[in-house]
Structure 1
Amino acid sequence: MTESVLPTTRRDLLTLIGKVGGGAALYQAMTVMGHAAESQFTGPPGLSGAKRGASVLVLGAGLAGMLAAYELTKAGYKAQILETQNRAGGRNMTLRGGDVVTELGSVQKVGFAPGNYINPGPWRIPHHHRTVLHYCKELGVQLEPYIQNNTNAFVHRKSAFGGKAQRYRDVVTDWKGHVSELLGKALNAGALDQAVTGEDKAKLLEAMRSWGVLDKNMAYVKSEKLGEQRGWQRPPGGGVNGEPIPNDPFSLSDTLDSKIWETLGFFAEHVMQPSMFQPRGGMDHIGKAFQARVGKQIRYGTRVTKIAQDDRGVTASWTDAKTGAVGETKADWMVCTIPATVLGQIEIQVSGAKKAAIKALPYGNSVKIGLEMNRRFWETEDAIYGGSSFTDQAIGLISYPSHGAFSDGPAVLLGAYPFGVGAYILAGMTPEKRIQAALDQGSVFHPKHYKSEFRSGVSLAWSRMPWILGCCATWTEESRAAHYQNLVSLDGRIVLAGEHCSYYGCWQEGALLSSLDAITRLHQRASAAQG
């Protein structure tokens, strides 16, 4: 029993950061240890030599689509984009005062004060998302630090501490102390069952298996699940070679010899927050930067109804959302970034295997709620500057703005960001009831001011956005094995791209990596065809 539990001691802070701070915080911690999953990005594709007059039709003006058009245009292709919305950027979006959110069954107008905003889609950029960072620099998007992990924020569970929220720092310290004590007792006694009750032993074994990423035999061995926390020999990417290869774990003796706890303790100090970034003034500045380069190539309000191809080219049939007019756009090649949830409803001329892959890929849901408060009481009363407080209620967490610290006047915090059950609970409510639920549940962190300082709010449920019907793709190991390569394959003259075509799902990095992979393979096929 002791041998099964002992290896978990090298995983404690990594797993804890992953559970409390999210996947991006875990990547940061693994980077400190030298095992983080870096991006496969090594630089722009450097495509050249396109056949004179060669054309590419891109479906979707999200980041993947606009990047494809941007790089293909530089390579000499004539690229055009069809976009169903009247805006570019896809999930890369920011809501400000005066904006309108149109969901299935509801319309909201944002009432934030000038300068305030909420990012309902992506909201942070890890330091190792090199593709996003490269294009931000190339396109002139100004970035600022994003505070990912704040040990002065709160954690809350309904069944713990009488339902009262506690400082993250305090709970973490106690957790490490108690587990260390239990482990010490187990080592001294020779068996865990001499230190805990039978019921607690079962709970502890379950916790250790998850905490230490152990296999069904309680052994710490190389696995894909371990790679998600420990890092990769080949990191996740987009396209054909996107599947990651996990690293081999070090021995216990080597890990103990490294005294890694000293480095982890250094990065856990208040002044050593993980390196994260956000565009100054809102995430949509990335989408706007791409739009500034390819905007003239976008046809907005164009709903694709049919996709066909033959030996000579591709054809997209469409309906104009405003006038109802129908039309067709032809090109030599196609990059399709339409989300699988919508693409599965469109007639498309590809192989049966690719159609099956498209229809087999469900999307998870998420909800974000922006709450504008009259003042920054979390700073003045609780000394919280950025970071997030976590709860097991439906809202999942609240996150404090990383910009504008110490400023007067109204400010916006993220009042909810759940996945899973919590997301569907909130999505099933009216926008007004979502706001009320966010205020009720968020009050556990700031009971004196949360409701009294509330000014205005807006919510967005991704499952109710008609142009995507979900937040992001939810692959399983089984579905990837059966369908992933068919989804990303170049089928005749058509290739798909987007976060759903990557191993970096739900991140902008995945969308961009898959786009670069797709257009590189398309260019290779086109070059071979003309030769």
Structure 2
Amino acid sequence: MQGEPATVSRRDLLSLIGAVSGSAAMYHAMTSLGFASDSGYKGPIRLDGDPKGASVLVLGAGLAGMTAALELRKAGYDVRILEFNSRAGGRNWTLRGGDSFTELGGFKQTCEFEQGLYINPGPWRIPYHHRALLDYCRRLGVALEPFVQLNHNAFLHSARAFGGVPQRIRDIKTDFQGQISELLAKATQQGKLDEAVSKEDREILMQALRSWGALDGNYAYKANLVSADFRGYARYPGGGLGAAPIPGEPINLSEILKSRLWRYLQNFALHTFQTTMLQPVGGMDMIGKAFAREVGDVIRYDAKVTRIQQDDHGVTVTYTDLKAPATLQQARADWCVCTIPLSILSQLPLDVGDRMKAAIDAVPYASAVKIGLQFKRRFWEQDEAIYGGISYTDLPIRQIAYPNTGFNSAGRGVLLGAYVFEGANAYEFTSMPPAERVARAVEFGARIHPQYGAEFENGVAVTWHRMPFTLGCAGWWTDRTRAEHYDDLCRIDGRIVLAGEHASYIPAWQEGAILSSLDAITRLHERVVKT
């Protein structure tokens, strides 16, 4: 019996397009498949009309909740926020030395990083096209600095290729691109593209392939000073006697294909990760803190919501104070903006219609793990000349990201030693005690950076499915669940409207949370004014 026909997933298709043709082709392909888009932000919203003293209860002091509170209070509403944590920001969170947190199962971790060092266990970068978030950073005075997404000198690593030796991104990228260009040039010279390309365009295409692929005068990709200008040298140009450069030897195309390291090149072509990317100076929670400076006076911290009821006149929320949980308390308002993650909201008694309830229940939450590791020195810079950027691997840790601050400084440094998003590895790490997660990250990382063994000092590991205020990283939509439930999730139900990254087409990003909030309160305000 014949086997199933071979298929290529959309992800692998995009990987190939991005690796071979670059970011522009990748973006157009993503657009046609319904993946990529700019933020829909058009500037600050205007909530015109008199709310006549209406009150709003906001559930959750993450970015969606604080955005709602900031804008509604500015428009004249009486606003209060109930927040589970003892801090504002939600997943907008930074861990520094002395910070402690307890996850489900009772595991408590205390970060031991040296003063000035940190890790962002939640969001850690801001694309240039996330315009709403960037606008609020500007308006709230949050200083930004570059986030290095692509560092050609970082590594691509496969445990099953090149004897397990990491390869520089620039070598794989340049050699893959060069040899693909050579193949295209040969096909063009042999007239294989006559039907698709005119004679004039063919001549221009040959020039473009020679330039793009660093080909020599015979349209071949070889070890020479032309290719070395892109991939680097076996011996770099120097000064004085013996200073002439020696080009590096390209990696054979077959080896690159079999290694599958080309898959990682998509991470630099994806629209989401294209330069310029940014980060707040001092940690991602600088954004949450800036919002809290505006609305912190209306936040009730350590408030665990246990029930949400509504009637024709308002909304009543029952909650407990986590510092004195024996007594139930209640808060009431005319309207409610609920930003509680669906993973938690689905477990609460909630007075909404069947369609919204079905939507809430339909969206699972993705698993994600981040592990921060402190080392005695910044060996990645001192030994390997890696300043920022990300190395990718097929080991369970998946990524190693290098700090974008303190370049070339002496003393300790912190790496993102693992970032695992979804899949078996994420669940495996989640099942481990924190100390074992850190130990495993050090063990795997040492295969890429042998310095780990001598330089490691301490670490902290955040597994989002064990965080009691989210029970997961982000809403995990499919095409089917979006078609069936998304609109029902976002519609106002009586006096309750939901907001958060889960109520957006930019899930897992802060931009999605803010845009969702702005849309929700705009529609809510229209209803209030009409009422």
Q: TM-score, normalised by structure 1?
A: 0.79
SS in 2 for 1:393: coil
Instruction: State how far apart, in whole Å, the 1-side matches of 2:230 and 2:53 are.
Output: 58
Equivalent residues in 2 for 1:195-344 (5 A)?
274-324=275-325, 325-344=327-346
Specify the SS of the correspondent of 1:15.
helix
Structure 2 CA distance for partners of 1:309 and 1:260, relative to 1, 3 Å: farther
**Are residue 112 (structure 1) and residue 113 (structure 2) matched?**
yes
From 453, 468, 471, the counterpart of 2:470? 468
Determine whether 1:135 maps to 2:150. Answer: no
User: Which residue in 2 is equivalent to 1:153?
Assistant: 154
Tell me the amino acid that sits aligned with residue 445 of structure 1.
I
Q: What SS class does the counterpart of residue 108 from structure 1 fall into?
A: strand
8 Å contact kept, 1:371–1:415? yes
1:487 is aligned to 2:526: no
Which residue in 2 is equivalent to 1:61? 61
For the pair 1:412 / 2:414, whether they are aligned, the reply is: yes
Letter matched to residue 174 of structure 1: D
Structure 1 letter corresponding to 2:83: E
Verify the 8 A CA contact 1:81 1:299 in the aligned structure 2. yes
TM-superposed deviation, 1:16: 3.0
Map of 1:195 onto structure 2: none
For the residues of structure 1 that align with 2:287 and 2:21, how far apart are their CA atoms? 27
Alignment correspondent of 1:123: 124
Counterpart of 2:48 in 1: which secondary structure? Answer: coil
Paired amino acid for 1:337: T
- Unmatched segments (≥5 aa) in structure 2: 1-7, 193-200, 215-228, 232-267, 269-273
1:29 to partner: Cα distance: 12
- Tell me the distance in 1 between the aligned counterparts of 2:377 and 2:118: 15
SS in 2 for 1:316: strand
Alpha carbons 1:431, 1:458 under 8 Å: kept: yes
Answer yes or no: is the 8 Å Cα contact 2:182–2:209 preserved in 1.
no
Shift in alpha-carbon separation, 1:262–1:343, aligned structure 2, 3 A: farther
Q: 1:405 to 1:30 in 2, by over 3 A?
A: farther
* Distance of aligned partners of 1:187 and 1:259 in 2 relative to their CA distance in 1, 3 Å threshold: closer
Q: Is the 8 A contact 1:50 1:77 kept in 2?
A: no
Shift in Å at residue 102 of structure 1?
A: 1.1
**2:188 aligned with 1:177:** no
For residue 17 of structure 1, report the CA deviation from its aligned partner: 9.6
Secondary structure in 2 matching 1:305: strand
| Residue of structure 2 equivalent to 1:216 | none
TM-aligned CA distance change 1:30 to 1:355, over 3 Å: closer
Cα gap change, 1:411 to 1:344, in 2 (>3 Å): same
| Structure number with larger C-alpha Rg | 2
2:439 matches 1:436:
yes
Q: How far did residue 282 of structure 1 move?
A: 0.4
Q: Unaligned 5+ residue runs, structure 1? A: 192-251
Alpha-carbon spacing, 1:89–1:256, altered in 2? closer, same or farther (3 Å): farther
| Distance change in 2, residues 1:428/1:49 (3 Å) | same
1:70 aligned partner? 70
- For 1:500, which of 490, 499, 502 is the aligned residue? 502
Identity fraction in percent: 54
Contact 1:101 1:460 in 2 (8 A): no
The change in CA–CA distance for 1:260 and 1:78 in structure 2 (over 3 A counts) is farther
Partner of 2:519: 517
Is the Cα contact below 8 Å between 2:55 and 2:77 reproduced in 1?
A: yes
Asked if the contact 1:394–1:425 (Cα under 8 Å) also holds between the matched residues in 2, the reply is no
- Is the 2:316–2:330 Cα contact (8 Å) retained in structure 1? yes
How far 1:329 sits from its partner (Å)?
Answer: 0.8
Structure 2 residue 367 is the aligned partner of structure 1 residue 365: yes
Q: Which residues of 2 match residues 82-101 of structure 1 at below 5 A?
A: 82-101=82-101
Letter in 1 for 2:301: Y
| Amino acid across the alignment from 1:334 | C
- Report the CA distance between 1:262 and its aligned residue: 7.2
In the aligned structure 2, how far is the partner of 1:117 from the partner of 1:339? 25
Question: How many angstroms apart in 2 are the aligned matches of 1:122 and 1:264?
Answer: 35
Distance 1:86-1:362 versus aligned 2 partners, 3 A rule: same
CA separation of 1:173 and 1:120: change in aligned 2, threshold 3 A: same
- Mapped partners of 1:455, 1:520: distance in 2: 49
State whether residues 375 and 409 of structure 1, in contact with CA within 8 Å, keep that contact through their aligned partners in structure 2.
yes
Q: Which amino acid aligns with 1:282?
A: G
**Distance in 2, Cα, partners of 1:481 & 1:264:** 43
SS across alignment from 2:370? strand
Report the CA distance shift for 1:264/1:274 in structure 2 as closer, same or farther (over 3 A). farther
| Root-mean-square deviation over aligned CA pairs | 3.3
SS of structure 1 residue aligned to 2:324 = coil
Q: Deviations over 1:310-349 (max 9, x none)?
A: 1111111111211122111111111000000000000111
What secondary structure does 1:363 align onto?
coil
Letter in 1 for 2:415: L
- 2:259 maps to none
- What per-residue deviation string (whole Å, max 9, x for no partner) do you get for residues 385-416 of structure 1? 00000001111110000110011111111000
Distance 1:26 1:396, change over 3 A: farther
1:425-473 CA-to-partner distances (Å, cap 9, x unmatched) read: 11111111111111111112211x1121111110100011111110011
In structure 1, the residue matched to 2:51 is: 51
Contact map agreement 1:28 1:275 (CA 8 A) in 2 = no
What is the letter of the counterpart of residue 276 of structure 2? S
The equivalent residue for 1:395 is 397
Q: Return the alpha-carbon distance in structure 2 between the equivalents of residues 280 and 465 of structure 1.
A: 25
Q: Which amino acid aligns with 2:133?
A: V
Give 1:495 shift: 0.6
Q: Tell me the secondary structure at the aligned position of residue 149 of structure 2.
A: coil
Distance in 2, Cα, partners of 1:45 & 1:177: 48
Partners of 2:61 and 2:279 in 1: CA distance: 21
Amino acid at match of 2:70: Y
Change beyond 3 A, Cα 1:256–1:504: farther
Please tell me whether the aligned partners of residues 72 and 521 of structure 2 are also in contact (alpha carbons under 8 angstroms). Answer: yes
TM alignment of 1:17-56, pairs within 5 A: 37-56=37-56
Secondary structure at the aligned position of 2:525 is classed as helix
Match of 1:248 in 2: none
Using the alignment, how far apart are the partners of 1:444 and 1:29 within structure 2?
A: 35
**Given residue 410 of structure 2, which amino acid in structure 1 is its aligned partner?**
D
In 2, Cα distance between the equivalents of 1:502 and 1:296?
28
Cα distance, 1:48 vs structure 2: 3.1
Quote the residue 1:382 is aligned against.
384
Contact 1:14 1:30 survives alignment (8 Å): no
Q: CA deviation at 1:159?
A: 1.3
TM-score, normalization by structure 2: 0.79
Deviation at 1:46, TM superposition (A): 1.4
Secondary structure of the structure 1 residue equivalent to 2:452 = coil
Mapped to 2, the partners of 1:51 and 1:522 lie a distance apart of 10
User: Which SS does the other structure have where 2:57 is aligned?
Assistant: strand
Pick which of 180-189 and 430-439 moved more: 180-189
Q: Distance in 1 between matches of 2:122 and 2:468?
A: 15
Which amino acid is 2:438 matched to? Answer: I
Q: How far off is 1:87 after superposition?
A: 1.1
Q: Render the CA deviation track for 1:194-250: whole Å, top value 9, x for unaligned.
A: xxxxxxxxxxxxxxxxxxxxxxxxxxxxxxxxxxxxxxxxxxxxxxxxxxxxxxxxx
Structure 1 distance, partners of 2:14, 2:344, is 40
